[in-house]
Amino acid sequence: MKTWLEDRGILPAYGGGVIIGITLCFFGAATNTMAGWLYAICGTTIAVLILSIILPRRSLLPLKVRRLAIVPVSAGDDLSISLEIENTSNQPINLLEVTDMLPIVLNQPKITPIEAIAPKSCHRLTYYLPTSKRGIYHWQEVQLRTAAPLGLFWCRRCQQAAAKALVYPQILPLQQCPLIDSLGQEMEQKLENNRYYQRASQGLTRNLRQYRQGDSTRLIHWKTSARLGEFQIRELEVLTGGQEVIICLDTLCDWQEDSFERAIIAAASLYFYAHRRQLNVKLWTGETGLIQGERVILETLAGIEAKARQKNANLPNLPLIWLTSNFNSIEQLTPGSRWLFFLAADSGESPSPLIRQFSGLAIEAETSLQQQLQKPPR
């Protein structure tokens, strides 16, 4: 009832309630005594009350709200949220209260007072919102509320200002990741055994370096070696880039919430580590299939949920990095794949003999995820 009244500009403030009570008393006294001066006081207070109802509503009409784009952040950082409130009238707007109706999962509605907005001008309102969990957050409304100029009645109006806030999963600064490095080394060895790679002389050279014991003589760059007087070896582009790494997130198994969030952080951290290693890294989920690109992957990981709808059930027929909490899902992996098995807190589980057929890591809930991802696989 209170909200209904306020949205229609007739919710009395404390002072307004007092004035209404005094007016009724004066009106009763005037009726009993038939004194003209009491009727005059009643008329004056009634006029003040009518103005107090009309003016707050009129002061909100010329206001327009625009929302600026929200820059995505990682979990743990602060979102910067900006609103522009434009006064299109020729009169200043005073004593305004702006409420950004944030979703409950993100925070409580943000209330900001504004002392004055000059005529024909914009007031930019910026505030910072702490984040603790990844997600894609949407909200629509901004509420404008005022009791100016007399402060006797509150008036509130809602304006649409759609917002979309992206909170990406935390990205761990991995100094090394043997799980990915070993996968890249296996791919590199296969490329070295390829006859075309051994004989390649055009289009694949990245740079030159001095000869080291064990280097193939087929990779010697003879012209440069003759000019410098020592052997120079061609480093080919395929040795440092182009290997395909596919990070797969199992969304169909029974995840505990904490384990699933750690898996999301691990997937994002592995992606950026592989990207820094100049590997051709992609992400696969049952809902999206294979996707590539920093922004697309981060947005996917921000919004993905366990038990998501499965649209692409078939895994790529390539070596994978499989993130799961289900023992049995290891059976579908192709030879050369890696795994990350996320143990539930206080579960006491250990990798089964099946998992031991592949290299990987059992991720414990009580140990630092960053430290575990930098350990060699077993």
Tell me the per-residue pLDDT of 305-318, one tens digit each, with 9 for 90 and over. 887 666 666 778 88
**Phi then psi for 166, rounded to 5 degrees?**
-100, 120
97: nearest Cα among 60, 150, 67, 64 = 60
Q: Kindly report whether the peptide bond that precedes residue 109 is cis, defined as omega within 30 degrees of 0.
A: no
Tokens 């820059």 belong to residue:
71
> For residues 301 and 169, is the Cβ–Cβ distance under 8 A?
yes
Greatest mean pLDDT among 7-21, 52-66, 241-255 lies in 52-66
**pLDDT tens digits, 45-95:** 999 989 988 899 899 999 999 999 999 999 999 999 999 999 999 999 999
pLDDT tier, 230 (very low <50, low <70, confident <90, very high otherwise): confident
Give the chain's domains with CATH numbers.
Answer: 1-168 (2.60.40.10), 201-238 (no CATH), 244-373 (3.40.50)
DSSP calls for 21-66: HHHHHHHHHHHHH--HHHHHHHHHHHHHHHHHHHHHHHHHTTEEEE
Query: Hey, what amino acid is at 218?
Result: R
pLDDT reported for residue 315: 79
User: Given a cut of 90, is residue 356 above it in pLDDT?
Assistant: no
**What are all long-range contacts of 68-72, with beta carbons under 8 Å and residues at least 24 apart?**
70/163, 70/164, 70/165, 70/166, 72/165, 72/166, 72/167, 72/168, 72/298, 72/299, 72/302
**pLDDT one-digit tens code per residue, 176-186:** 888 888 775 55
Would you list the DSSP string of 363-376? E-SSS-HHHHHTSP
Residue 122 structure tokens: 């914009």
> 318 by DSSP, 3-state: which?
coil
Q: Which of 26-30, 37-41, 214-218, 322-326 has the lowest mean pLDDT?
A: 214-218
- Residue 362 pLDDT > 80: yes
CB 270 within 8 A of CB 247: yes
